[in-house]
Amino acid sequence: MAKEKKGVRLDHISKIYQDPKTKKDFYAVHDVSLDIAPGEFVTLLGPSGCGKTTILRMIAGFESPNEGEIYLGGEPINELTPNKRDTAMVFQSYALLPHYNIFDNVAYGLKLRKVPKDEIAKKVTNILHLVGLDGMEDRMTNQLSGGQQQRVALARALVLEPGVLLFDEPLSNLDAKLRVDMRNEIRRIQQEAGITAVYVTHDQSEAMALSDNIIIMKKGVVQQMGDPLTVYYEPANEFVADFIGESNFLRGTLAEKDGHHGQATIEGNPVDVSNVGHLNVGDDVTLVLRPEAAALADEGVLPCTVTLSRFMGNYHNYQVKVGDTLVKITDFNPKNHKIYDVGDEAFVAFGPEDVHVL
Ligand code: ATP
């Protein structure tokens, strides 16, 4: 569908704004460098105010970076106005023309580009088919459901066959069920259209479901870029481990080391660990342990006391205390396991491959 899918490269990009209260300048985006390959679906993920939208708006040309260069398909684009860039944006608000029908909304950008009438008709029909709005050309956009409006917004961007499609939290105005349906649709359409996509969200499950790669940001700075498996199982730091899924942080010191393997001391207990080649004996370590990677058992690594035990239907939720450390454990197969009650003494069980060492 896309004329030519294009890669995006940000080379040491910074954006400085003035805080309206303190009147002080601050970095909304600080020294961000990243490469997005042609045809890739990349999500910018992070809490409110971390600079995701600012990055998207700089790629689109609605904002200019104070430092650095942006490349689209290998060409520098800092000096190009938005309409000269080979990008199209799908907005959170949809930004549809309310008194126009679907056809005219989708055809609008093509008319501005003086595309011949019969070609416009053909392109609009094809795109409406792709987004699942066949035969709805004459419906007025103010008579559509939220999900249908979102599809029109998507069609209107796609019909321009941009090198890169930009999404600014496009599903925020939809209810939870529709959001899940539409995100699957967006992924299908992006793959069928074979287009490069950059997608902004603060919803980690949306990012996991949609992306080839996720860029996690905090206060204008990229914390990690990686595929969903990598950012989940090998988070670069505690912020990423906490932002994507749930994590327990077991703090201690590295007591022994032999190559990549070693032993950490956590609350006075020896814990075998791997991937510690970069650390030295005596270093502080934090073990990232996902609640579902740990089990509660009669034997294990860390002795504990159960402080919360709750059956949730498809899983069992525990909180236990290991010394002063609170550990969350999720048992997704409770029917086949012993159930522990509050006050029981037990062990947190896990192997070296179940923890990620920071
Ligand atoms: P959200 O999820 O809430 O949209 P975001 O991660 O997209 O957040 P940005 O909109 O990129 O964040 O904003 C980054 C920072 O820059 C925030 O602190 C925001 O208040 C600030 N900011 C954004 N636009 C401007 C502006 N035009 N002038 C001054 N500050 C701005």
Q: Residue 345 above 80 pLDDT?
A: yes
Establish whether residue 57 lines the binding site of ligand 1, counting it when its CB lies within 6 angstroms of any ligand atom.
no
User: CB–CB of 276/285 below 8 Å?
Assistant: yes
pLDDT band at 3 (very low <50, low <70, confident <90, very high): confident
Establish whether residue 291 lines the binding site of ligand 1, counting it when its CB lies within 6 angstroms of any ligand atom.
no
Q: What percentage of the chain exceeds 70 in pLDDT?
A: 99
Q: pLDDT tens for residues 278-310?
A: 999 999 999 999 999 999 999 999 999 999 999
Q: What is the DSSP string of 262-286?
A: EEEEETTEEEEE---TT--TT-EEE
Q: Residue 1 above 60 pLDDT?
A: no
- pLDDT of res. 174: 82
Helix (H) and strand (E) counts in the chain: 8, 20
| Ligand 1 atom nearest to CA at 51 | 11
Q: How far is the CA of 338 from the centre of ligand 1 (A)?
A: 49
Nearest CA to ligand 1 atom 30: 17
Strand order in the sheet with 269-273: 269-273, 261-266, 248-258, 284-289, 355-357
Please compute the mean of the pLDDT values over residues 180-209 and round it to a whole number. Answer: 92
pLDDT band at 146 (very low <50, low <70, confident <90, very high): confident
CA-CA distance, 235 to 244, in Å (whole number)? Answer: 9
Alpha-carbon torsion, ordered 173, 179, 185, 186, to 10 deg: 50
Nearest CA to ligand 1 atom 1: 48
Nearest CA to ligand 1 atom 7: 53
- pLDDT of res. 105: 95
Q: How far apart are the two ends of the chain, measured CA to CA in Å?
A: 43
Nearest CA to ligand 1 atom 18: 49
Q: Residue 269 above 70 pLDDT?
A: yes
Please compute the mean of the pLDDT values over residues 264-290 and round it to a whole number. Answer: 96
User: CB–CB of 329/322 below 8 Å?
Assistant: no
Q: How far is the CA of 215 from the centre of ligand 1 (A)?
A: 17
> Can you read off the two tokens belonging to residue 218?
């905090």
Please compute the mean of the pLDDT values over residues 61-87 and round it to a whole number. Answer: 96
Q: Residue 177 above 70 pLDDT?
A: yes
| Ligand 1 atom nearest to CA at 46 | 6
Of 19, 30, 45, 52, the residue with max ligand 1 atoms within 8 A of its CB, to mutate for a pocket test, comes to 52
Q: Residue 43 above 60 pLDDT?
A: yes
Establish whether residue 49 lines the binding site of ligand 1, counting it when its CB lies within 6 angstroms of any ligand atom.
yes
User: CB–CB of 294/353 below 8 Å?
Assistant: no
Establish whether residue 51 lines the binding site of ligand 1, counting it when its CB lies within 6 angstroms of any ligand atom.
yes
Q: What is the DSSP letter of 354?
A: G
- pLDDT of res. 142: 85
Q: How far is the CA of 304 from the centre of ligand 1 (A)?
A: 44
Establish whether residue 61 lines the binding site of ligand 1, counting it when its CB lies within 6 angstroms of any ligand atom.
no
Establish whether residue 48 lines the binding site of ligand 1, counting it when its CB lies within 6 angstroms of any ligand atom.
yes
| Ligand 1 atom nearest to CA at 18 | 29
Q: What is the DSSP letter of 28?
A: E
Q: Residue 2 above 70 pLDDT?
A: no
CB under 8 Å, gap of 24 or more: what pairs does 15-24 form? 15/51, 15/54, 15/58, 15/63, 15/65, 15/66, 15/220, 16/66
Q: Residue 70 above 90 pLDDT?
A: yes
Establish whether residue 46 lines the binding site of ligand 1, counting it when its CB lies within 6 angstroms of any ligand atom.
yes
pLDDT band at 108 (very low <50, low <70, confident <90, very high): very high
